[in-house]
Homo-oligomer: A and B are copies of this chain.
Amino acid sequence: MDEEIGDFSVHIVGLGLMGGSMAMALRDHAHQITAQDLRPDVLQIALKRGVIDAIGGIEQANVVILAVPADRMTQVLEQIIPSLKTNTILMDIGSTKGKICDSLDQLPEHIQAVGGHPMCGLAENGFQNAIPTLYRNARFVLCETKRTTPHAKKVAEKVAEACGALPVWLDRYRHDYLTGLTSHLPHLLNFALMRLAIDVSTENNDLFQLAAGGFDGATRLARTNESMITGMFTTNAQNIRELTARFREQLDLLDTLFDNPTQLNDELQRIVEARRYYSDNYGERPIA
């Protein structure tokens, strides 16, 4: 049981930005790569460009990757399960993990399953934006399920590493709370700010000509495909609500300092220092 990823036939369900970039990254590592997608044109292009070896083929795969929006995962799972061969290793890469891993727990015992979430992406998604380097140096969160065997753990780590990412095992619920803060709440704030800007621009048509880099950066995530964000918000609603409540408390607190420049300056300085420390120690990723 010590196969290399080169021994595997990998099948990817959903050839968007994430699935497409994974196919490209695994290209030189896997024995064979196949895929399915709702859009036949995307599959044809991927085949023509040599990103995949064949369309369809889930029945022969040793490793199946589910790369569809988080809120579609359970439904897609139900559709594909009858096609999987015994001991197939199934990994999803949805952006929330609690509900999805709860579903993976319920799979028949002949399936091995691991939850996954690579911490990378681009605001502009779809297969047309896929790049082989998307996963490089990203953390790749892996979550154990009731269907995670020691063998499945090893294979999941190898898949993450073959993509160029760094596997990190994390409890599914802890993942959802923490990425609720690092990813989902930032998306919500970006969408809410853009929505407010739409409203204000109808009152004042000078608005957008005054917008510059600060506005662009604070709304950039609102360019992300809505179906992915819908999946993100609806499958992690409880955590996002809790974090939004905590976020409002931060706004309250800063608001109380507006009338006290010295205290405000001290507090902002503390935040700037933490942000710069973060940047120096975890790197600054240019693309949202």
Contacts and interface: CB of A to CB of B under 8 A. Distances in A.
Interface string A214-236: 11111111111111011001100
Given A182-B208, A214-B221, 17 more contacts: A168-B210, A177-B204, A178-B206, A182-B207, A186-B193, A186-B217, A186-B218, A200-B246, A208-B281, A213-B286, A222-B272, A226-B272, A230-B261, A234-B259, A234-B261, A237-B259, A244-B255
A282 B183 contact: no
A266 to B, nearest CB: 8
B188 A275 contact: no
Interface string A157-173: 00000000000101000
A192 B247 contact: yes
B214 A268 contact: no
Which of A168, A207, A246 has the largest number of chain B CB atoms within 10 A?
A: A207
Contacts of A174: 204, 206
A264 to B, nearest CB: 5
Contacts of A271: 191, 194-195, 198, 222, 226
Given A217-B221, A226-B272, A272-B225, A199 B247 contact: no
Residue among A189, A227, A253 with max Cβ neighbours from chain B (10 Å) = A189
B272 A224 contact: yes
A227 B265 contact: yes
A207 B276 CA distance: 16
Given A193-B189, A196-B246, A243-B196, A221 B224 contact: no
A252 to B, nearest CB: 9
B195 A254 contact: yes
